[in-house]
Amino acid sequence: MKQQHIQHLYWRVGFGISISELENLKSDSKSNIITSIFSKSKDVNLLQLDLSELNPIKSTNPKVLMTEMGEATFQKLIQKGQQKVKDLNHAWIDRLSEPTSILREKMTLFWANTFVCRDNNIFHIQHYNNTLRKHALGDFRNFVKAIAKEASMSKYLNNRQNVKESPNENFARELMELFTLGVGNYTEKDIKESARAFSGWSFKNNGDFFLRKQKHDYEEKTFFGKTGHFNGDDIIDIILEQKQCAKFICAKVYKYFVNPNVDQDRLEEITTLFYKEYNIEKLMQHIFTSDWFYNEENIGAKIKSPIELLVGIHRVVPVTFNKKKQLHYLQKMMGQVLLYPDNVSGWKGDKNWIDSNTLMFRMKLPSLLLNNAIINLEEKGAFEDSFEAYYKKEKNRNKFLNVTQKWAQFEKEYGHLKPDELRKIIIIPKIDKDTKDLISNLKVKSNKDYCIQLMSIPEYQLC
């Protein structure tokens, strides 16, 4: 395979590729490389924090627990649980930075912005995150059914309040509008009837799904022209019978893994394939093995998400955050805090990542992380009260990020490269003439300095 094609592939299935990995793959065939990627992503390595100190939250009704412990002790336990959600955020980024199964982890990140959810209960949100991971390359039908039963999703979209006496339509509506079909591909009657089918769906304190039978509507429903005593799983089956469902998901996959501008002929091609079995792995294999995936117009066509940008830098120069709250700060400044999407629509992505403020911040990020540049810790919105309190004292103060860079590892990997070789590793898309002139006039003192300079040009924002 060509070097640029391997790099393109590894930015899509992961977050870039090191020079040593690249050298090992250059003489290999596309088929062997892709087979290896999928093979390494077969196993599911769950992301699990030590939550033993919070077990009372998991096993006991909150009202009973508060009575037993006292309100003050109970609130401290809840706060510890909320801190663990932040810890899960950090652990997830660590996992993305050093993945053992790169494609499964990249797919997990993708699905987190498809089945969008937010929750402060660490047990429930950790389970939800691992459900994404388990099903990331599996059967889409089983995936949707599993997500519909997640405690975090039930709370986020009010399905626990959905009872036969007063159906709550929120989950049923978003299931079709945002998760499976897209706007305009269902009727208001379909929403009402499907909401009845999901009535009574609930969960135990530990997050396990259960059906409140006395709250479930067992009467006939008519949905997409079919009539029966449907439950939620039946509704999902009927949704997947619509080819529009396969097309809707394939369009999301194409925009994320191929090109934000969708080629309608290619979309029809992968939709037809996906619709046959709803097999996610087969869909992704088809895309990555297709010659058109490596077309020039698809290389460097994507604006990196903030997480892709952060993790991509780390893949070249490993960075450890000595103050994890600063990692949260960077995510917030760039508009993508893992486990905390903006709303049920998720992050819009592509050009929405960039405005006049975020572009300048993103281009300065390599210097902030790798060259001890000064950062202005000015608040840019809310995340949580405790987070706000931390930075209140720091507002308008110039500070350094407290990070440790592993330059020795960079030197071992990239120190021997000539400047032009390093540029081809760091930058994938074509370089604009003005940027090329700028680079050619740089005095390259060391590969370390040149790396930071390359990561600070506009083309590094693309992959």
Q: Which residues lie below 8 Å from residue 459, measured CB to CB, with a gap of 6+? A: 300, 427, 429, 430, 431, 432, 435
Q: How far apart are CA 195 and CA 193, in angstroms?
A: 5
Quote the pTM value.
0.94
- For the stretch 268-324, pLDDT in tens is 999 999 999 999 999 999 999 999 999 999 999 999 999 999 999 999 999 999 999
CB atoms closer than 10 angstroms to residue 136: 24
The pLDDT value recorded for residue 105 is 98
Q: How confident is the model at residue 380, as a pLDDT?
A: 43
C-alpha 119: how far from its chain's center?
15
| Neighbouring C-beta atoms of residue 352, cutoff 10 Å | 11
Q: Among 2, 1, 15, 13, which residue's Cα sits nearest to residue 304?
A: 15
**Which residues does the chain have with pLDDT short of 70?**
373-398
Distance from C-alpha of 423 to C-alpha of 180, rounded to nearest angstrom? 41
pLDDT of residue 389: 52
Task: Give the span between the Cα atoms of 370 and 318, in whole angstroms.
Answer: 9
